Structure 1
Amino acid sequence: MIKRPISLLVIVGSVRDGRFGPTVADWFAREAEAHPGVDVRVLDVLDHPLPLVMPEPGLPPSPEAAKVRESVAAQLADADAFVVVTPEYNHTGPAALKNMIDWFFEEWAAKPVGFVSYGGMSGGLRAVEHLRQVFAELHGVSVRESVSFHNAWDQFGADGRPVNAQEAAGAAKVMLDRLVWWGQTLRGARAERPYER
């Protein structure tokens, strides 16, 4: 039986001026679009700024924050799986990414999460290790496989594609295969019995 493709939301985590994230995210989104089990959408944290200070429990956010939150919540809720594209800042992920993650709870639960990281010598892997713990607390399921680019600025050509295209595509496919398996499996499980936190 052919299963419906999973809805994969690729999240661009960096908001800094001159960021390299869109280059990496665009490449990965193209790889994901070529996978038969995936329907891809992209959410850029820069386009959805949420306040660093959350409202008191029981109080609504400002109208501006409420509008952004509603838009992001709808995209997260619609997704069967996530891929977070993240750099590493001071041995962890970007503050804006963590802030966006913290604004939501149920939307992450019982859904798989993959990571594409980039940076200097570490390739962003320390950021990924921190984010795995964050998503575990939110009841997300991080897949073991990830894609990382060490000294990323040297790993992409002027065309926005990896210099070692075959190797990068192979790593992306392995992670996408895992995300499809988990995404379809958990989607079916949630439909049969809603996940309770």
Structure 2
Amino acid sequence: MSLKILVFLGSVRTSTPPSPARLGERVAKRCVAQLAEDGHDVVLIDPLDYDLADPFKPLFSYSQSQVPEDLLSLAREVESADGYVMVSPEYNHAMSPALANLLNHFGSSLYSYKPSVIATYSAGQWGGARAAVNMRTFLSELGCLPVSAMIHIPKAQEVLEDDGGYAKGQNAEEWAGYFHRAFSQLSWWANATRRYHESEDGERRPGAFTRSPSQRNAP
């Protein structure tokens, strides 16, 4: 079954050093390409493509008539997706502020009961793995539980080209298998949740993920 998957790019960096400025864009493009090869409808969510309000203001804090068009468009993408891939570098052993800012514009009611994949990267040797520990908690709170398999790409500038293709000397088949390990889990869970959402019981969701985010944790 073809699924709609959003790939969130957790970077707004446009300047150097370090170089390349948008290393995460390579990782996101690789994810998009592999998911498309698997037959899915994939949308790359690049925060630089959206004019979001500054200072930060989440969707639920606007009146219906005042929601910025870019924010409303992005909310529709999030709500209509079957699953997500979260691409992030590591900042102080945590996910990037750019990704957290992007995701926090929406409450868990838009993400909930859909799976996600954590994909981290770095210019160094760890591949952002420590950020993934933090991301598991964050994504679980949003309700889009991450699958067990994760993607970590150390020295991503040596693994991937600007267009997301594999760099010369890399074992493309081995890397593709590594990505597929996580994406096959995403596909399995996304198919299962989609079928349940479409069933008679699909809309009977616990209130914790369906109430207004401003009220969810209120007494």
TM (norm. structure 1) is: 0.87
TM-aligned CA deviation for residue 54 of structure 1: 2.2
TM-aligned CA deviation for residue 44 of structure 1: 0.7
Percent identical: 30
Q: Determine if the alignment matches structure 1 residue 34 to structure 2 residue 41.
A: no
Partner of 2:111: 108
5+ residue gaps, structure 2:
15-20, 210-219
5+ residue gaps, structure 1:
none
State the 4+ residue runs in structure 1 displaced beyond 3 angstroms: 55-63, 157-160
2: CA distance, partners of 1:86 / 1:9: 14
2: CA distance, partners of 1:85 / 1:184: 21
1: CA distance, partners of 2:69 / 2:129: 33
Partner of 1:75: 77
Q: Determine if the alignment matches structure 1 residue 8 to structure 2 residue 5.
A: yes
Matches within 5 A, 1:87-102: 87-102=89-104
2: CA distance, partners of 1:80 / 1:114: 12
2: CA distance, partners of 1:59 / 1:27: 35
1: CA distance, partners of 2:56 / 2:68: 13
User: What secondary structure, in the 3-state scheme, does the structure 2 residue paired with 1:141 have?
Assistant: coil
Give the strand-richer structure, 1 or 2. Answer: 1
TM (norm. structure 2) is: 0.79
* C-alpha contact (below 8 Å) 2:58/2:104 kept by paired residues: no
TM-aligned CA deviation for residue 191 of structure 1: 2.2
Question: Over residues 65-84 of structure 1, what are the superposed CA-to-partner deviations in whole Å (9 max), with x where a residue is unaligned?
Answer: 62221011011111100011
* C-alpha contact (below 8 Å) 2:26/2:162 kept by paired residues: no
TM-aligned CA deviation for residue 164 of structure 1: 2.7
2: CA distance, partners of 1:131 / 1:161: 26
- The aligned length equals 192
Q: Pick which of 149-158 and 126-135 moved more.
A: 149-158
Greater C-alpha radius of gyration: 2
2: CA distance, partners of 1:143 / 1:42: 20
